[in-house]
Structure 1
Amino acid sequence: MWMQNLSYHAGATLLLFSLARFWHTSAALAAATRPSAAGGSLLSGGLINLGNTCYLNSALECAFHIPRVRDLVISNTQCSDDADINAAGGGMDDTIALLSLREVFSSMKDSARKDVESSRPTSTSILCRNLGISAYEQQDSQEFWKLLLPELNKPQLVDLYQGAYEGYIAALDGSGRERKREEPFLDLSLDVSRGSIYTALEEMFSKPELLSEKEGNGWRPEKGADKVDALKGSLLRVQGLPSLLQLHLMRFNYDWQTDTMSKINDRCKFPKVLDLSKICTDAKEEEIPATIYDLQSIVVHVGEYGSGHYYAYVRPDAKRNKWYRFDDHKVTEVDFKEVTADSFGGYSERQRKNEKRGLLARLFGSNIGFGWGGPKSSAYMLQYVRRCDVPKLYGKSSDG
């Protein structure tokens, strides 16, 4: 019952989680089954950095502050009914990953308060120890959560994050031959060089790739058939949208010529309210409410590849525009302007103008317009909450 140590390999974090199960007999964990108070305003006291575990801390803060996610992790039942979350018993098939995360979330909840001053930070040592995670190796925040989630063996939890789009290839020879396949996802990876997530999403789902027979990359519809010109693309539909939409901004790039990784800190804007009605194929007017998302949290990376630092910005309450920065054990209330200044990356128009000024002016204004992390900070993960699912995710008191 262990997980091999995490390590970088060509820019990818290889997380090998154990699939082992063990009988749940811990009295402490069995007692920690009370669900969160409705409203989602419980505030974590932060997480202790055990060495280089900031990537892990950031991902957990984003998850913990969604009450439904928190309750599903802490609950030791596999029941599908909300009323059964409080029920005793069950949990006999819980994985080591789930039991360890449950211990962390329970501790976070026990030490959390309604205000920053009275909260206390929590240690993730049990999670790292049980999963074989080295506390002194920097890893990738996005890959950590993406690979941990299925190992929790909580289908209801995965369902909150999992969406699906349709991948297709269609021949252009008039034969009508095509191939379609449903592609499930836990997050969508976007090209930050496009300048905004809207542009990146439009390119992903609205601009098919031409497969040209003349250029040698044509499509072979069936075995033995000649290659033909075809269009290859993806379609996002309303029915495939998840309750929690995670967007991965691809800021780490591998250079095949130099065999090195580098960080792309290009400016990439994102909205507080994400409207996917124009991105979804054939979205009907009555379906538009199901395409509206509100920004809930951001994982920020500051520094370079392999030597940076992660922290998170989180909006704990769905009804209030109140943001907090979770930098390991340090929790600070911030204005949303600070959030965007620290998350968009690159240079704003104001900063570009400053670069054209004289040397002294540039020196004295070197940090003009930058956020808390400075010029090398930028958003790496965005988490959006679908507005129509707020009652389910946050409870009845947050359904306004």
Structure 2
Amino acid sequence: MKSMMNMFEREDEETNKQTPIENIFGGKLLSNIHKKGEESTSNTQPFFTLQLDIERATTIFEALKHLTDVKKIEGFISSKSKQNIEAWQQILIEQLPVVLVLHLKYFQFDWNGDCSKITKKVSYPMNLQIDPKILSEGTNRSSGKEKYKLFAIVYHEGEEVSDGHYLTDAFHDGYNTWLRFDDEKVKAVPEHSVLKPQGHRVPYLLFYRRI
């Protein structure tokens, strides 16, 4: 009996083990469903990147706020009455990762399934402070874990989705400078060119490391 208990405990430990990727990039979102005349329900969802809608945003802070806006759910069916009732959803950040990856949704699909690129500029800071308002009540908001620093960016360059080009800027601690990786070409670049990409170059993925 004791050996069987030890076996089950080992299985539980293995199940709860996280991979190195999860330990570094893994976060959690809390989804709250508010239903008219019924109790609210909640569930958590893991994430490795935060996908941010930029159509109504000019800054990363605005895009993060829009992520947690309360949204009405159309056609929600009650599990109790089996009737259509009013319901709203709000998503909050339950757990912040060590490395926060922000995916800016510059590519959009229309009703015909065609994909196009949004050409507007969205500003982003070198130092990012996560607003406590977008964190769930279960998150330790005073832990200091909500402070991040930018260390890498993946850009998409070009007007069209089909013929674009990707390149990356990354901060090199040894050289204490930013390096641009454009296929086989590597060169040092100033910080202002990292924060203000020119032309049709836009930040597609932003990598922030917890300070």
Pairwise same-fold verdict (TM > 0.5): yes
Question: 1:185 and 2:42 equivalent?
Answer: no
Question: 1:196 and 2:59 equivalent?
Answer: yes
1:335 maps to what in 2?
A: 190
Question: 1:296 and 2:151 equivalent?
Answer: yes
One-letter amino acid of the counterpart of residue 161, structure 2: Y
Query: Which SS does the other structure have where 1:325 is aligned?
Result: strand
Instruction: Tell whether the 8 Å contact from 2:30 to 2:136 is kept in structure 1 after alignment.
Output: no
Query: In the comparison of the two structures, how many residue pairs are matched?
Result: 190
Question: 1:234 and 2:76 equivalent?
Answer: no
1:89 maps to what in 2?
A: none
Query: Which SS does the other structure have where 2:142 is aligned?
Result: helix
1:220 maps to what in 2?
A: 77
Question: 1:378 and 2:202 equivalent?
Answer: yes
CA RMSD of aligned residues (A): 2.1
Q: Distance in 2 between matches of 1:301 and 1:219?
A: 37
Query: 1:326-383 CA deviation, whole Å, 9 max, x = no partner?
Result: 11211111111111221xxxxxxxxxxxxxxxxxxxxxxxxxxx3xxxx211111000
Relative to structure 1, is the Cα distance of residues 318 and 381 closer, same or farther in structure 2, using a 3 angstrom cutoff? farther
How far is the alpha carbon of 1:188 from its aligned partner?
0.9
1:363 maps to what in 2?
A: none
> How do 1:349-364 and structure 2 match up within 5 A?
none
How far is the alpha carbon of 1:284 from its aligned partner?
5.3
Query: 1:294-321 CA deviation, whole Å, 9 max, x = no partner?
Result: 001000110120111100010122994x
Instruction: Tell whether the 8 Å contact from 2:180 to 2:187 is kept in structure 1 after alignment.
Output: yes
The answer for unaligned runs of 5 or more in structure 1 is 1-153, 212-216, 343-369, 388-400
Relative to structure 1, is the Cα distance of residues 310 and 162 closer, same or farther in structure 2, using a 3 angstrom cutoff? same
Task: With the length of structure 2 as denominator, give the TM-score of the two structures.
Answer: 0.82
1:167 maps to what in 2?
A: 31
Q: Distance in 2 between matches of 1:252 and 1:285?
A: 32
One-letter amino acid of the counterpart of residue 87, structure 2: A
One-letter amino acid of the counterpart of residue 245, structure 1: L
Relative to structure 1, is the Cα distance of residues 319 and 204 closer, same or farther in structure 2, using a 3 angstrom cutoff? farther
The answer for unaligned runs of 5 or more in structure 2 is 1-17
Q: Distance in 2 between matches of 1:209 and 1:197?
A: 20
Identity %: 28
One-letter amino acid of the counterpart of residue 209, structure 2: V
Q: Distance in 2 between matches of 1:222 and 1:386?
A: 41
Question: 1:307 and 2:160 equivalent?
Answer: no
Q: Distance in 2 between matches of 1:329 and 1:219?
A: 52
Q: Distance in 2 between matches of 1:310 and 1:247?
A: 16
How far is the alpha carbon of 1:256 from its aligned partner?
2.0
Which of these two proteins has the greater Rg computed from alpha carbons? Answer: 1
Q: Distance in 2 between matches of 1:295 and 1:170?
A: 35
How far is the alpha carbon of 1:223 from its aligned partner?
5.1
Instruction: Tell whether the 8 Å contact from 2:135 to 2:141 is kept in structure 1 after alignment.
Output: no
More displaced 10-residue stretch of structure 1: 277-286 or 298-307: 277-286
Query: Which SS does the other structure have where 1:326 is aligned?
Result: strand
1:272 maps to what in 2?
A: 126
User: Of Structure 1 and Structure 2, which has the larger fraction of its residues in helix?
Assistant: 1
Instruction: Tell whether the 8 Å contact from 1:277 to 1:292 is kept in structure 2 after alignment.
Output: no
How far is the alpha carbon of 1:200 from its aligned partner?
0.9
How far is the alpha carbon of 1:261 from its aligned partner?
1.6
Task: With the length of structure 1 as denominator, give the TM-score of the two structures.
Answer: 0.45
Instruction: Tell whether the 8 Å contact from 2:53 to 2:67 is kept in structure 1 after alignment.
Output: no
Q: Distance in 2 between matches of 1:208 and 1:189?
A: 16
Relative to structure 1, is the Cα distance of residues 285 and 168 closer, same or farther in structure 2, using a 3 angstrom cutoff? closer
